[in-house]
């Protein structure tokens, strides 16, 4: 067997003798090629068709709710990045195994890659609004990945750590403390008999293997990152910048003087867009071109409506301050923000569409298939439920739903605030469960009365004497009547309320505390305008919003 390298001949001995570590490295490189080469293709077919994002999206939709809660608790707002990194690590581990498998049986390794490609294709094709082209990134990636694996295992980049010699006793038994000669030679970087380069300048199979790994992994990284970057440039930020928002026929009432108590650490009355919390299931922010955007109002209506963005902008607009809150906001949490929204009253559109009797649910559907179910009655009861196009004087930021989203005062976001909305379907609660309902959340979810202490912060060290305790309280669409504070479980004391624009927004409050030395516990509770006081009982965020009093412990020196 001396002499020629068995180029492209996967003899059983040669294949099975490929070192495990190299085989694993070959597998990981093949996976990198698959993922990386899919990205430039996804520039054409859209970022959601890229295998990592498509499979990640599938995971987001399929993962059982308790696990998701756990992940959110564990990773906080970085849960999406954690998901992608976790998926990539898992993929790398599988790819390494596939490499080892392929070294033994090339067909099995190829079947594994085909399986992954099929998963990518299935994930991409089942995303909302997907078309056949969305299969392309996974197909191309899978094909190139399989080719890479072949090249390493049986093709030009193949490495045999041993001459394809008859099995020696060294090999039959455990390598033991003395490595077989070929392995020892490799460690010394010496040429091995039967392994000499074919010609001068041929780097030899081992070098060629490593060069192959480096070159392919590098190319994959460049293709992947470049493709990702290009896909990002195909976003809609230019189209967003070009939007000229109309002047509202009904401007928002001015923010009353004193709505902002201007206490440091206290959340500002109006939340700047950059600081506004973001919650959604989207792994990549949907990029919706306003030129092609359509809104369909359909289902159980007598007169279905279809509107373009220009049609919407041509309608009379109102501007309103509304505080949006997430049902997943823990007591004391910050998944809440207040903004000035510009938009068309949903009521007017529904009135024109003429909902049928019994159509008690309006399903808002996003371009990415996410849905929320809002009571038709709530949307028509005269509150400022908007199809919003503007946020704090700007077109909606892309991550907050550009070009159009729903905003409904008094309801949690998951039942009302559909971003990137493209459909309002009239149906019945009995007939359709929106996205979060089968995942264990209530179909009906008015915002619970809540209050939060923003200052002092937990575990602050304070000096004895007067201390300003301040925060925010909210009971959207009912309004806040009183806020009370107590120290160390003592009597409740009335806080001072700042003025607010309307009952649809939160309100700031403050209370002067004569702090005495020692450890203290501060608690806050609010009473809404209906006279209902926040219960002290602690309940979790699921299924319809947390209850309990925000409690902050401080040390006064
Ligand atoms: N398309 C879409 N819209 C969505 C969601 C989503 O996952 N997808 N999440 C909802 C939830 S749970 C909340 S709390 C609000 C948050 O809106 P924001 O990100 O603009 O603060 O958006 C709602 N609209
Ligand atoms: Mo939410």
ω before 23 within 30° of 0 (cis)? no
Position in ligand 1 atom list of the atom nearest CA 279: 19
Residue in 323, 386, 395, 413 to alter for ligand 1 test, most ligand atoms within 8 A of Cβ: 413
CATH topology of domain 273-439: Sulfite Oxidase; Chain A, domain 2 (3.90.420)
Q: What pLDDT, in 10s, does the model give residues 288-321?
A: 999 999 999 999 999 999 999 999 999 999 999 9
Is 27 or 57 the better-scoring residue by pLDDT?
A: 27
Q: Read off the pLDDT of each residue in 75-81 and give the average, rounded to a whole number.
A: 67
Distance 280 CA to ligand 1 centre (A): 5
Q: Is this structure's pTM higher than 0.75? A: yes
Write out residues with Cβ below 6 Å of ligand 1. Answer: 276-281, 324, 326, 366, 368, 370, 400, 413-414, 417-420
At residue 526, the 3 state secondary structure works out as: strand
ω before 456 within 30° of 0 (cis)? yes
Residue in 65, 279, 328 to alter for ligand 1 test, most ligand atoms within 8 A of Cβ: 279
Ligand nearest to the CA of 407: 1
442, 380, 387, 395: which is closest to 414 by C-alpha? 442
Distance 102 CA to ligand 1 centre (A): 44
300, 322, 313, 320: which is closest to 424 by C-alpha? 300
* Residue 182: pLDDT over 70: no
Distance 77 CA to ligand 2 centre (A): 13
- Give the residue, by CA position, lying nearest to ligand 1 atom 2: 419
Supply the mean pLDDT for the chain.
Answer: 88
Contact 471, 269 (CB under 8 A): no
450-556 carries CATH number 3.40.50.300: no
Distance 372 CA to ligand 1 centre (A): 9
Contact 33, 51 (CB under 8 A): no
Contact 424, 364 (CB under 8 A): yes
Ligand nearest to the CA of 277: 1
Band of the pLDDT at 57, cuts 50, 70, 90? confident
Query: How many beta carbons lie within 10 A of that of residue 105, not counting itself?
Result: 15
Query: How many beta carbons lie within 10 A of that of residue 465, not counting itself?
Result: 10
Locate the domains of the chain by residue range: 17-232, 273-439, 450-556
* Residue 180: pLDDT over 50: no
Q: Read off the pLDDT of each residue in 422-433 and give the average, rounded to a whole number.
A: 98
Q: Read off the pLDDT of each residue in 403-430 and give the average, rounded to a whole number.
A: 98
309, 317, 300: which is closest to 246 by C-alpha? 317
């Amino acid at each position: 067997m001396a002499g020629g390298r068995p180029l492209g001949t996967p003899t059983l001995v040669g294949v099975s003798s490929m070192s495990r570590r190299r085989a694993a490295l070959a597998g990981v490189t093949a996976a990198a090629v698959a993922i990386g080469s899919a990205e430039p293709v996804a520039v054409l077919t859209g970022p959601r068709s890229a295998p990592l994002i498509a499979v990640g999206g599938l995971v987001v939709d399929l993962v059982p709710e308790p696990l998701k809660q756990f992940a959110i608790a564990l990773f906080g707002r970085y849960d999406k990045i954690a998901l992608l990194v976790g998926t990539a690590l898992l993929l790398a581990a599988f790819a390494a195994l596939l490499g080892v498998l392929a070294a033994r049986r090339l067909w099995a390794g190829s079947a594994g890659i085909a399986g992954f490609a099929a998963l990518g294709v299935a994930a991409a094709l089942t995303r909302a609004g997907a078309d056949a082209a969305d299969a392309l990134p996974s197909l191309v990636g899978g094909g190139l990945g399989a080719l890479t694996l072949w090249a390493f295992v049986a093709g030009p980049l193949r490495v045999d750590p041993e001459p394809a010699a008859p099995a020696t006793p060294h090999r039959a038994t455990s390598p033991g403390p003395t490595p077989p000669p070929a392995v020892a030679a490799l460690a010394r970087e010496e040429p091995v008999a039967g392994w000499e380069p074919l010609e001068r300048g041929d780097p030899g199979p081992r070098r060629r293997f490593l060069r192959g790994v480096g070159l392919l992994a590098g190319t994959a990284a460049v293709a992947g990152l470049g493709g990702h970057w290009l896909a990002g440039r195909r976003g809609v930020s230019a189209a967003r910048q070009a939007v000229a928002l109309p002047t509202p026929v009904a401007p928002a009432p001015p923010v009353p003087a004193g709505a902002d108590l201007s206490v440091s650490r206290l959340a500002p009355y109006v939340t700047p867009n950059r600081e506004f919390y973001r919650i959604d299931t989207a792994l990549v922010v949907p990029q919706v071109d306003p030129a092609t955007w359509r809104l369909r109002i359909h289902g159980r209506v007598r007169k279905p409506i279809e509107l373009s963005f220009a049609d919407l902008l041509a309608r009379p607009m109102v501007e309103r301050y509304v505080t949006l809150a997430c049902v997943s906001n823990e007591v004391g949490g910050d998944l809440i923000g207040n903004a000035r929204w510009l938009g068309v009253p949903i009521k007017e559109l529904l009135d024109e569409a003429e909902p049928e009797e019994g159509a008690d649910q309006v399903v808002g559907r996003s371009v990415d298939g996410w849905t929320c179910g809002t009571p038709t009655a709530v949307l028509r009861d005269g509150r400022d439920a908007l199809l919003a196009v503007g946020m704090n004087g700007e077109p909606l930021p892309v991550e907050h739903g550009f070009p159009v989203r729903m905003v409904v005062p008094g309801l949690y976001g998951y039942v009302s605030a559909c971003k990137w909305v493209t459909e309002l379907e009239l149906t019945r609660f009995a007939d359709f469960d929106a996205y979060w309902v089968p995942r264990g959340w209530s179909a009906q979810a008015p915002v619970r009365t809540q209050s939060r202490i923003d200052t002092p912060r937990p575990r602050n060290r304070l000096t004895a004497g007067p201390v300003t305790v301040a925060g925010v309280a909210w009971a959207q669409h009912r309004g806040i009547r009183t806020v009370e504070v107590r120290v160390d479980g003592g009597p409740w004391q009335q806080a001072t309320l700042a003025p607010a624009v309307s009952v649809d927004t939160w309100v700031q409050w403050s209370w002067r505390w004569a702090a005495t030395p020692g450890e203290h516990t501060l608690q806050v509770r609010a009473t809404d305008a209906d006279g209902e006081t926040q219960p002290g009982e602690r309940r979790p965020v699921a299924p319809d919003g947390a209850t309990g009093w925000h409690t902050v412990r401080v040390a006064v020196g």
